[in-house]
Structure 1
Amino acid sequence: MKLALFSTALVATALSAQVASAETLRLLTWGGYAPDDVIALFEAETGHTVEVTTSNNEEMIAKLRATNGGGFDLAQPSQDRITSAQEEFGIYKPIDMARVNSELFIPSMLAATAGNTTYNGEVFGLPHVWGTSGLVVNTAMAADVKDYTDLCDASVAGKVSYRLKRPTLIGFAYSMGLDPFAAYGDTAAYQEILDQVEAELTACKPNVKTYWDGGDEIKNLLRSGEVVASMAWDTGGWQLNADNPDITFVAPEAGALGWIDTFVLPARGRADDAAYDWINFVMRPDIAAMITNVAGNFTAAVDGDADVSADLKARYQGSFDQAAIDNIKWYPPVPAGLEALEGATLDRINAAN
C-alpha cells in the first residue's frame, strides 16, 4: 500500500513538474509547416501548447521589426533573410547549439545554413524545409517553355504568369546569362543586372495574363487553361500533376532557385524551452515525414523522406534528374539594402505600359 502511494506521488510530482515547465510556443511560420496532428502529438508529449501564425518572408520581417523581435518565440524565415535583417534591425538572438539535437539534421544542410546565417561569429538559423521555384508548365500546350525567358515567347502570348517579386528578377537574370548572386557584393553591378532584367520584363508584359499573388490563384489559372506556363514553386506543380499529368514542375535550363526555410529565435521571445523542444521534435524522421506529406516539400531531417508518400517521391524524381539538382541556384544571404533596389525595379515594371 505504501509502495503504491509512493508510486502515485512520484507520478503526480512528475506531472506537476511538466505542467510547471510547460510554455506556450508562439510560432510564426509558413502554411503547412505545423499541421494539426503534429501539434497535437507535440502538446501531448511535452505539455507545451502551440499558437500558430502563418506568414511569409516579408511579413515575418515586418512583424518582428515592428516589435523589436517580440511577439513570437520561434519564426521560420528563409535563410537569405536572416543576417541582413539582424544587421539592420537586431530582431533575432543566436542559436544555442548545445540545445539542438544536431544528429537529426542532414549534415551538409546544417553546415550550409550555419554558414549563411552566421553574423558577428554567431549562428542565427537552423535548416528546416527546403524546395525550389522554377517553371510550372502545361507540357501539352507549352512544350517549348524550358527556361524563364521562354515565358516571353510569342507561342504563349497572353497565357503566362509570374509574380512581381524578387525570384522573378533573379530567375530571368540567370536565364539571360547573368549571375545576380555573384553581384550581391557590388551594388552598382547588381543595379546593372536589374536594369537589363527590367527591360526584359517590361517588354514581356504583353505575354502576361496576370501577375499572381497566391499559390491557389496560380494553380486555378493553370487548371483552367487560362495560363499554360508560369514561374511557381515545385510543390504547386506536383499538386497539379496529381490531377492533370500534362501539368508539372519543370526545372529551368538556367537552374531552379533553391530556398531553405529555417528556425530562428526572435530577440524578445520568452519561451526558449518550448522553441528548442519543437525544433528537436519536428526534426525526428517520423514527424518530418508528416510535415512533408502536408507541406509538399522535403525537410533537412536525416531519413525524413522514409515515410513520404510514393507519389510525391515519384513526381520529385520526374522533375529533377541529377544534373538539375546540381544546377540549383541556392539563395545566399541578401545584403542589407539590396531589396530596396529590387523593389524600385519591380515598381517600375508594374507601372510601365
Structure 2
Amino acid sequence: MKRTLTCITLAAVALTATGLAQAQNKTLRLLTWADYAPKDVVEQFTKETGIKVEITLSNNEEMISKLRATGGAGFDLAQPSQDRIAGPQTEFRIYKPLDLSKIKRELFIPSMLEATQANTTVDGKVYGLPHIWGTDGLVVNTKLSKATDYPDLCAPENAGKVSMRLKRPTLIAFAFASGKNPFALYNDAKGYAALMNEVGQTLINCKKNVKFYWDGKDQLLAGLRSGELTTAMMWDTGGWGLNKTQPEIKFVAPKSGALGWVDTYAIPAKGRNDAAAYAWINFNLRPKIAARVASAAGNFTASKGADQLMNDTLKKQFADSFPEAALKNIKWYPAVPAGIEDIEGRVLDRVKAAQ
C-alpha cells in the first residue's frame, strides 16, 4: 500500500513538473521600456506562436539592479541600452552569449547590427542586438527661447525656466558642449574624473536656472505645454509628441551634438525560455511589426525597411530636427567601462547637494 501511494505521488510530481515546464515554454518574461511592447503587437505574437508575454517595465538602472540581485534570473529577455551591457556583464555576469544562428540577420539594418555587436562583445562573445534607437537633445519653445546648445540652459534669459535630469546623459552632454570628448577618456579614470568634476561645477553654477530636475515625463511635458519651461534637455520623441499639438515646441539637435542611444535585446544569464526570446526578436524585426512598435515608441528602429512604413508626420519631424550635418554629429554612446558610473554618481550627488 505504501509503495502504491509512493508511485502515485511520484507520478503526480512528474506530471506537475511537466506541466510547469510546458507553461514556462509558452511564456516569455520580458523586461523592457514603456511602449516597446504594444498590446496589439503582443496579441499578434501570441496568436502566431502560442507564447504569452509577461511584461515588466523598467529602465537601465533598474534592469541592472534586478538582474544583478538574481544573478540573471527572473526574465527571459531584457532591453538595456547598448552602452549598459559590456560593463555590467564584465562585473556581474548577468547575461548569456547570444546564438546568432537563431536570428534572421536579413531583418536588421546591417551597419546598426554590426555596430551594436561590436559594442556589446565581451571576451569574444556577443550579448546585444539592436532594436529601438533615438537621441537626447533639447526641446525648445521657440516663442520663448532661442536655445541651440546645452549651455543655453544656463543662460540668464532662461533663469528658473529650464529642466534637465540629474543623470549621466546631462554630464556627457555638457562635457561635449565644453569642447571635450568624454568618451575618449573612458579608459583614463583620472582624466575622466577631472572632466566630470569640471562639468559638475558647471551644473552647480546652473542650478539657479533649473525649475526642477525631472525623473518622470509627466511633470516635464506639463511644464513645457504650459510655458512654465522654455527649454529642457530631453529625448527626441518627447519633443516630437509635443510638436504635434504645439508647433512652437520643437526638438533641436544641439550644436555640440545630440546624444545617440540604441536599446537592445539581451538574454539574461538564467533566462529559462531562450526559444521564446529569439522568436520575439525575429517577430519584432519584421518591417511591418517594427514600424508599429516604433510608431508607438515615437522613435526609429533597427529593422531594415521599417522607416519607409513610418507615419509621414514622424518622418517630417525627424527630417526637420536632423538635417544631414546634425545627423552626422550625433554622439553615439559606446560601451560604459566598469567604474565610470561610480565617478559620475559622486559628481551627481555633489550637484544634488549643492545649495
1:214-229 equivalent positions in 2, closer than 5 A: 214-229=216-231
SS of the aligned residue for 1:44 comes to helix
Q: Tell me, which stretches of 5 or more residues in structure 1 are unaligned? A: 1-18
Contact 1:22 1:47 in 2 (8 A): no
Q: TM-score, length-normalised on structure 1?
A: 0.93
Question: Percent identical across equivalent pairs?
Answer: 58
Residue deviations 1:140-187, cap 9 Å, x none?
1002x1000111000111100000000000000101111100000100
Contact 2:24 2:272 in 1 (8 A): no
Shift of 1:188: 0.4
Partner of 1:210: 212
- 2:297 counterpart letter in structure 1: A
Partner of 2:115: 112
Counterparts of 2:218 and 2:23, CA distance in 1: 42
Shift of 1:306: 2.2
Shift of 1:307: 1.9
Contact 1:84 1:336 in 2 (8 A): yes
Shift of 1:22: 4.7
Q: 1:264 aligns with which of 248, 266, 280?
A: 266
Residue deviations 1:197-235, cap 9 Å, x none?
011100000000000111222111100111110100000
Q: Tell me, which stretches of 5 or more residues in structure 2 are unaligned? A: 1-21
Q: 2:184 aligns with which of 182, 188, 193?
A: 182
SS of the aligned residue for 2:130 comes to strand
Contact 1:69 1:266 in 2 (8 A): yes
Shift of 1:121: 0.3
Residue deviations 1:87-141, cap 9 Å, x none?
1000000010000000000000000000000000000000000000000000110
SS of the aligned residue for 2:348 comes to helix
Contact 1:22 1:46 in 2 (8 A): no
The number of residues matched between the two structures is 334
User: Which stretch has the larger CA shift, 240-249 or 20-29?
Assistant: 20-29
Q: TM-score, length-normalised on structure 2?
A: 0.93
Partner of 2:82: 79
Counterparts of 1:63 and 1:191, CA distance in 2: 28
Runs of 4+ in 1 over 3 A off after TM superposition: 19-22
CA RMSD of aligned residues (A): 1.0
Partner of 1:311: 313
Counterparts of 1:195 and 1:277, CA distance in 2: 45
Counterparts of 1:88 and 1:195, CA distance in 2: 25
SS of the aligned residue for 1:336 comes to coil
Shift of 1:20: 8.7
Partner of 2:15: none
Counterparts of 1:330 and 1:311, CA distance in 2: 25
